[in-house]
Structure 1
Amino acid sequence: MTPRPEIIRALGTRDDSVDAMLPDCALPDPLPSNVQGLPSQILSADEIAITDCDPVVLVGELRSKKWSCEKVVRAFLKRAALAQKTTNCITELLWKEAIARAQHLDSLPQPAGPLHGLPISIKEQFGVPGKINNNGFVACCDLNPWNRNLSAGGSSGGEGALVGFRGSPLGLGGDIGGSIRSPAANNGVYGFKPTPFRVGNTGDMGLIVGQEGIIGCIGPLSPTLSGIELFMKAYLDTMPWVKENYLVPIPWRDIQLPKRLKIGIMWSDGIVKPHPPIVRALSEVANALKSADFEVVDWQPKEHDECWKLTSALYYEDGGHRLRQMLKASNEKLLPLTEWLLSQGEVKSRTVEEVWDLKAKRNAYRSMYNQHWLDTGRDDGHPVDAILCPVGPGCAPPHDQARYWNYTSQWNLLEYPAISFPVTQVDTRLDVPEDGYVPLNELDRFNHGLYTTPER
């Protein structure tokens, strides 16, 4: 199939922007599966120090003028360009605008706000004035910088790979079923999905904007937890609900936590059992919490199979018609994972009355689950304060094999805030596949088959 002129133009714009920042870069051929060691071979010591810096510390250095804004942005542009050449995670580097803005900030007598000079990357679905937005429909696969044979996650996989490669200290993604948290987990960084209507989505060019069965959320990804807090506080301190009046008017608050938090741990959702490294990570966190005098209890999942039926139906109330029409307009074929999703039994075109019934079931499920949560305090008057669960049933999967999202989409349906954070990596000595395992169902069988050896 001959690429359309728009495709050729978009790829040319991207490649030109990358080459401007990293010309004549000699990369190994073939590239190693893990490309995390390449920055130290190509970037200067100063560039490594800048791009490895915690975002909060980096803002402090910018405000004190230890590092100029231009020096910082050039370092990140260079590392981001390297990220693109190794993981295919970028649609365009806005290097001219970034450098011009940095030079302007350096000319000011005082810092220009709480994020003064901090480079930020954004998911391509968010519109930027004067820039082409294709929303990923001419789809190229984002690769994982830790292992290029594995998925970077989706749909904010480019952000996950870029932040995981330290090509950006702070990125913004979108999450309607795990699209911030899954890429964060796959790339070893932090990813936060706020509750709906906390962060504005003006300019969002997503395919299903206007669909309100499940509300997508915009949130940050960062190499550190402090980077997540930095963004949320800076954003909410601007009182965004004044200009975007659909947002809830709740400022950033410093709260006093209970003396002893009660944490519920969901070891499995009863549908798809997590792989050995996921179970080990949960155990490590559970033991750390107990050592810090947290109360740790088991969380019993309730009707999570019903959640997946509802979410898969609510994503495509039109049966995927708009998606298919968009692909048809650009002569694109459905990718295997998208085709699999649209083949789910609950995905079909619905009448208005059927959509109403579906949303009534959604609301009833939310009420049921809320009561289930409150019931955890029936004996002691203290319901659990938070739930700790897997981000997914395995670590980063091979490409086109991420067929179970319910560990993340569960919380989208319920509209709970959720954060993913790095704990450990696969250990080939400890994370041995379970012999003789009897799958719970076909989904569990498929997931179990993905983990044949720890090296996968």
Structure 2
Amino acid sequence: MVGWVDRANSKRAHTLAQIPHEWIDPNVINEMKERGYVNTREYLDSVLPQNEVRITALTATELIERIRTRKLTSFEVCYAFCHRAALVHQILNCCMEIFFDDALNKARELDNHLVTTGKVLGPLHGLPFSLKDQVNLPGIDTTIGYISRVGHKAVKRSLLAKVLENAGAVFFVKTTVPTAMLASETVSSLHGRTLNALNLNFSSGGSSGGEGSLIGARGSPLGVGTDIGGSIRIPAAFQGLYGLRPSHGRIPYMDVTNSYEGQELIPSVIGPMGSSIQDLELFAKLVIDSESWNYDPQLVALPWREVPHVKKDKLRFGLMVSDKLVMPHPPVLRALMETCEALRRCGHEIVEWNFPHNKRMIDVGEQVYAADFYDEVQEILETTGEPISEYMKIARENISYKGHSGRALGVSQWWEISREIRSLKEQFLEYWEKTRDLTSDGKPIDAIICPAWPSAGFRDGDVEFGCENYTVPFNVLDYSCVVLPVTQVDSAKDIPDASHSPFSTEDKKIHEYYKPEMFSGMPVCVQVVCKRLEEEKALAIAAVIEGCLANVEKL
């Protein structure tokens, strides 16, 4: 029997072998460091042909328009992203499956279609599109971080992949995930570690870390991640991207591989990650317009709803500076304050948001995630003898510390958790409605503004500083969330707060982790939260925020 190390090395070699020989550079990461770069995007912009750099700098929306008007061909766009993705992978280790030849052949077919018919195939005609490893494509592995799944080719195509392909998307890679997709960093015995696109010393985040790294380095214009505890929003925030965490039932999850199949109390959802709000809206609208609820029984038959009033009316925001459990670092606090100041200048209103049961939401979320005490993961790992990850060890220790029995929960315990979640949803909604008592016009808030993560990421391997406090509650509630970049860490502005009195030992640890010089230049994002099934509103509000911030910069 081949050992797990040999099987992992064989898989990594196979992935690398799918890259054309002329694009292989065994010394690329050393060359990058020798030239003084830690930012992969900036480094590749300096070494790749400038015609390719110009292409990969465009957003998905811009690329589609240029292909449609024949200013660019599908082939040259696909070639530029394949070439760049090949180098990004060799630097950041972010791709699990590579199939450039199939993508380039598809791009040629789309070019021929446009020439012969004069029409595009669909709204994504010719757009290179990356997929998190979970998304199934026939004949391609879906390993979700397990060595034991290597060689298990998918038979079915995920419904979302069908929708995107029918719209003209060109798939060219599937990206890395942590073991079982249960971590806020992206590391597994199978592929190793995936690094941050903007700083090699930092974590890519997880579990959609491969997507975050690839898109952050401009190796893909648009892709999809999944999110059960922050797995879209965390890598997006760590790499200065835009990400949409939709509510369950808006985007088809049918035939997407997952851990803990059947756990639907806090369902995993699938959504886009990209380089602009417009790209996220493009994705969401076309997928919802596909009426996939005719095939996926888990979807809500809710058509796309335009919300033009959101971009014209006065909006009301609840500002959550802190959950009173972990205080965000100074750059995150500054991003929140600058966002609110920009909104006020544009005529919008900000009120305080202090929901009193944040800890209960986090605790109940962790109980759901650890309902079997991670036995499923352990059993799968034991089939090959691969070790359990440090992240999983820490998760087990933390849940044990919080009173978990150390074995799978019983039916009565599961029912009790279900009742608790229902109660929290009711209390949260009631609290939301009572914000009408705080606003000047007696109307409840339109959205919450809060951190996506309490810091501007964490250094690669520093998993003990993981903190999903600002993402997990909205998975429990199943609310619609958008992450968008606001600023960067400025070591001159973002001075440590010596006066902060820690809420707890965890807060003290995270507070002391902040070193301005270490984080300098890292992106800082904020999170916009709307009620359940309000994806259109969340995206529109994110666009309003971005517009207000841009107006302030012009002053």
Taking the aligned partners of 1:203 and 1:383, their CA distance within structure 2 comes to: 38
What is the correspondence of 1:359-438 to structure 2 with a 5 Å cutoff? Answer: 359-378=418-437, 380-398=441-459, 399=461, 400-438=463-501
Paired position in structure 1 for 2:363: 309
Q: Which amino acid aligns with 2:246?
A: P
Paired position in structure 1 for 2:297: 245
What is the correspondence of 1:80-159 to structure 2 with a 5 Å cutoff? Answer: 80-108=85-113, 109=117, 110-138=119-147, 139=188, 140-159=192-211
Larger mean CA deviation between 188-197 and 234-243 belongs to: 234-243
Larger mean CA deviation between 21-30 and 102-111 belongs to: 21-30
User: What is the Cα deviation at residue 311 of structure 1?
Assistant: 0.3
Taking the aligned partners of 1:243 and 1:231, their CA distance within structure 2 comes to: 19
Paired position in structure 2 for 1:12: 13
Taking the aligned partners of 1:75 and 1:373, their CA distance within structure 2 comes to: 47
Paired position in structure 2 for 1:336: 390
After superposition, the C-alpha distances for 1:120-145 in whole angstroms (9 at most, x for unaligned) are 10101222110111101351211002
Where structure 2 has 5 or more consecutive residues not aligned to the other structure, the ranges are 148-187, 520-555
Q: Which amino acid aligns with 2:219?
A: G
The alignment's C-alpha RMSD in Å is 1.7
Please give the secondary structure, in 2, of the residue aligned with 1:419. strand
Larger mean CA deviation between 183-192 and 145-154 belongs to: 145-154
Answering whether residue 284 of structure 2 is matched by residue 232 of structure 1, we say yes
Paired position in structure 1 for 2:39: 34
User: What is the Cα deviation at residue 23 of structure 1?
Assistant: 2.9
Taking the aligned partners of 1:26 and 1:387, their CA distance within structure 2 comes to: 46
Q: Which amino acid aligns with 1:411?
A: F
Percent identical pairs in the alignment equals 32
After superposition, the C-alpha distances for 1:265-292 in whole angstroms (9 at most, x for unaligned) are 1000000000000000001101110111
User: What is the Cα deviation at residue 25 of structure 1?
Assistant: 6.7
Paired position in structure 1 for 2:539: none
After superposition, the C-alpha distances for 1:376-407 in whole angstroms (9 at most, x for unaligned) are 01364311100000001111112223421020
Contact 1:125 1:136 survives alignment (8 Å): no
1:52 to 51, 54, 57: 57
User: What is the Cα deviation at residue 69 of structure 1?
Assistant: 0.7
Taking the aligned partners of 1:292 and 1:395, their CA distance within structure 2 comes to: 27
Please give the secondary structure, in 1, of the residue aligned with 2:128. coil
Q: Which amino acid aligns with 1:362?
A: I
1:260 to 300, 304, 314: 314
Q: Against the structure 1 CA distance between its residues 341 and 195, is the aligned structure 2 distance closer, same or farther, given a 3 Å change threshold?
A: same
Contact 2:4 2:386 survives alignment (8 Å): no
Taking the aligned partners of 1:19 and 1:151, their CA distance within structure 2 comes to: 28
Paired position in structure 1 for 2:223: 171
TM-score normalised by L of structure 1: 0.96
Contact 1:200 1:240 survives alignment (8 Å): yes
Taking the aligned partners of 2:411 and 2:302, their CA distance within structure 1 comes to: 33
Answering whether residue 51 of structure 2 is matched by residue 61 of structure 1, we say no
Larger mean CA deviation between 36-45 and 307-316 belongs to: 36-45
Please give the secondary structure, in 2, of the residue aligned with 1:355. helix
Kindly indicate which of the two structures has a greater share of residues assigned to helix: 2
Contact 2:3 2:384 survives alignment (8 Å): no
Please give the secondary structure, in 1, of the residue aligned with 2:259. coil
Paired position in structure 2 for 1:77: 82
User: What is the Cα deviation at residue 309 of structure 1?
Assistant: 0.8
Contact 2:41 2:218 survives alignment (8 Å): no
User: What is the Cα deviation at residue 13 of structure 1?
Assistant: 2.0
Where structure 1 has 5 or more consecutive residues not aligned to the other structure, the ranges are none
Larger mean CA deviation between 15-24 and 350-359 belongs to: 15-24
Taking the aligned partners of 2:428 and 2:50, their CA distance within structure 1 comes to: 51
Paired position in structure 1 for 2:547: none
Contact 1:18 1:92 survives alignment (8 Å): no
Q: Which amino acid aligns with 2:103?
A: A
Contact 2:56 2:218 survives alignment (8 Å): yes
Larger mean CA deviation between 378-387 and 149-158 belongs to: 378-387
Taking the aligned partners of 1:27 and 1:358, their CA distance within structure 2 comes to: 50
Larger mean CA deviation between 323-332 and 117-126 belongs to: 323-332
Please give the secondary structure, in 2, of the residue aligned with 1:271. coil
Paired position in structure 1 for 2:334: 280
Please give the secondary structure, in 1, of the residue aligned with 2:367. helix
Q: Against the structure 1 CA distance between its residues 50 and 56, is the aligned structure 2 distance closer, same or farther, given a 3 Å change threshold?
A: same
Please give the secondary structure, in 1, of the residue aligned with 2:224. strand
Please give the secondary structure, in 2, of the residue aligned with 1:422. strand
Paired position in structure 2 for 1:358: 417
After superposition, the C-alpha distances for 1:349-382 in whole angstroms (9 at most, x for unaligned) are 1111111111111111111111011110136431
Contact 2:78 2:128 survives alignment (8 Å): yes
Taking the aligned partners of 1:436 and 1:381, their CA distance within structure 2 comes to: 36
Larger mean CA deviation between 62-71 and 337-346 belongs to: 337-346
Taking the aligned partners of 1:244 and 1:163, their CA distance within structure 2 comes to: 28
Contact 1:170 1:222 survives alignment (8 Å): yes
Contact 1:319 1:342 survives alignment (8 Å): yes
Contact 1:172 1:218 survives alignment (8 Å): yes
Contact 1:172 1:221 survives alignment (8 Å): yes
Contact 1:337 1:402 survives alignment (8 Å): no
Matched residue pairs, number? 456
